[in-house]
């Protein structure tokens, strides 16, 4: 027969928690999107940083799509194009560096090795950087209900 294990005083305290105390705070809330003022401020900061980087790096046809009410993935999606693989990679690396420097995190990245389509997930902000041919093929603007800049001009003019 095995040796008896005596519970520690910490274990005993946890096992003898009064019922009322358990009812007051049974478990922390499930992980999910929380929209506290600090989170909203961080989202605006990330958006400002991303706009500045895309503009600095001469990204083309930049579009912002408001996702609030459409999905819980993020609040804003930005889509931009680079002229070549190298340009797409440079834009993405600059945006990632700037977001991390601004304290936005964690920043997750996909597609940086091929630079056809780089996805940057910064929490409430998702950024897609495409080569023009790949962007035209996937046409995310149509999927999420936004027009490309050239189409917007034709509609207005």
- Rounded-to-integer distance, Cα 80 and Cα 63, Å: 6
What does DSSP say about strands 60-66 and 117-121: parallel, antiparallel, or unpaired?
unpaired
Residue 93 lies in a domain: yes
- Rounded-to-integer distance, Cα 63 and Cα 150, Å: 11
| Domain limits for position 42 | 37-156
Residue 116 lies in a domain: yes
Domain count, the chain: 1
Asked if the model's pLDDT at residue 26 lies above 50, the reply is no
Q: Tell the burial category of 94 from Cβ atoms under 10 Å away from its Cβ (0-12, 13-18, 19+).
A: middle
Residue among 144, 71, 81 nearest 117 (CA): 81
Residue 17 lies in a domain: no
**Domain containing 70 — which CATH number?**
3.30.460.10
3-state secondary structure of 7: coil
The reported pTM is 0.65
Q: What is the pLDDT of residues 49-100, one digit of tens each?
A: 999 999 999 999 999 988 888 888 888 899 999 999 999 999 999 999 999 9
Alpha-carbon distances, residue 91 vs 24, 38, 43 (angstroms)? 49, 27, 20
Residue 82 lies in a domain: yes
Residue 118 lies in a domain: yes
Q: Hey, how many other C-beta atoms are within 10 angstroms of the C-beta on 133?
A: 9
């Amino acid at each position: 027969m095995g040796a008896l294990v005596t519970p520690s005083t910490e274990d005993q305290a946890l096992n003898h928690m009064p019922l009322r105390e358990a009812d007051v705070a049974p478990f922390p809330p499930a992980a999910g999107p929380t929209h506290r003022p600090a989170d909203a401020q961080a989202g605006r900061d990330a958006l400002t940083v991303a706009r500045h980087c895309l503009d600095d790096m001469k990204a083309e046809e930049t579009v912002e799509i408001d996702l609030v009410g459409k999905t819980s993935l993020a609040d804003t999606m930005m889509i931009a194009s680079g002229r070549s693989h190298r340009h797409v990679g440079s834009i993405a690396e600059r945006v990632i560096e700037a977001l991390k420097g601004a304290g936005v995190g964690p920043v997750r990245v996909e597609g940086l090795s091929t630079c056809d389509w780089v996805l940057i997930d910064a929490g409430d902000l998702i950024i897609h950087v495409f080569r023009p041919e790949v962007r035209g093929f996937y046409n995310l603007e149509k999927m999420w209900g936004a027009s490309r800049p050239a189409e917007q001009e034709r509609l207005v003019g």
